[in-house]
Amino acid sequence: MMQRLLSYLIPITVFKKKSLRSKTIEINWNNGEMVLDTLNTNYSYGSLQRILRYGLQNIGFHKIAKMEAILVLGVAGGSVIKTLIDEIKFKGKITGIEIDSEMNAIANQYFKLDSYKNVEIIIEDAFEYVLKNNHFFDLIIIDVFEDIKMPNFLFERFFSQRVCQMLKNKGFILFNTMLLNTSHTQRNQKYMSEIDSISFSVKALPRVEEHNELILIQKK
């Protein structure tokens, strides 16, 4: 409790370790909230949770609550899963794909991710999972980062087409991206232009937390 109160004045680090994928993984108390950070960005809870919550609000909490199957590519500490279950009251199946087993262990220890009974976490590369998956989802959340870097495969046409094929009718894709320069802006514009406009609608949501842009895709 003392650390939580002090965190309103200064961030308090309670756990820190080096990571091959994320350089550094930290658990910090910040403004009364326990968050998961890497060297250069917030990974779960804190600002990231606000960003993805904003995207989910644009879809509609009432719509999400009625869904049956949700896929999360890039789980980290599991803040979006917490939003789905605790705030939206989603009762269906959540499948989470996380490449970093260390990150998953930390999520379980500090954020009790493994306490949710309707969540299955698979330790696997997101690209490999999408490549071989044969299930369909009402909502696919893409939140794959290595610190502040986004893997190139996320923006390749083959990957976007494959993810779109995994949607049920009227399903949604919520894609969290980071814009740090003009080339990133052009990358996002190119990505959206390649989505099949006959079968899908696509739009970028206004900048959230300065550097993040959410792309929302819906199957018609």
Mean pLDDT, range 76-87, rounded to an integer:
94
Mean residue pLDDT of the chain comes to 90
List Cβ<8 Å contacts ≥24 apart for 34-37. 34/4, 34/110, 34/111, 35/77, 36/76, 36/77, 36/79, 36/106, 36/107, 36/110, 36/111
pLDDT at 22: 62
Mean pLDDT, range 9-27, rounded to an integer:
79
pLDDT at 124: 96
Report percent pLDDT > 70 for the chain: 93
**Residue extents of the structural domains in the chain:** 50-219
Residue carrying structure tokens 């309670």? 14
Q: Is 33 left (phi over 0), alpha (psi -120 to 50) or beta?
A: beta
CATH superfamily of 50-219: Vaccinia Virus protein VP39 (3.40.50.150)
Predicted confidence (pLDDT) per residue in 122-132, tens digit: 999 999 999 99
Kindly indicate the confidence band of residue 42, based on its pLDDT and cuts at 50, 70 and 90.
low
User: Strand 137-142 relative to strand 167-178: parallel, antiparallel, unpaired?
Assistant: parallel
CB atoms within 10 A of CB 94: 24
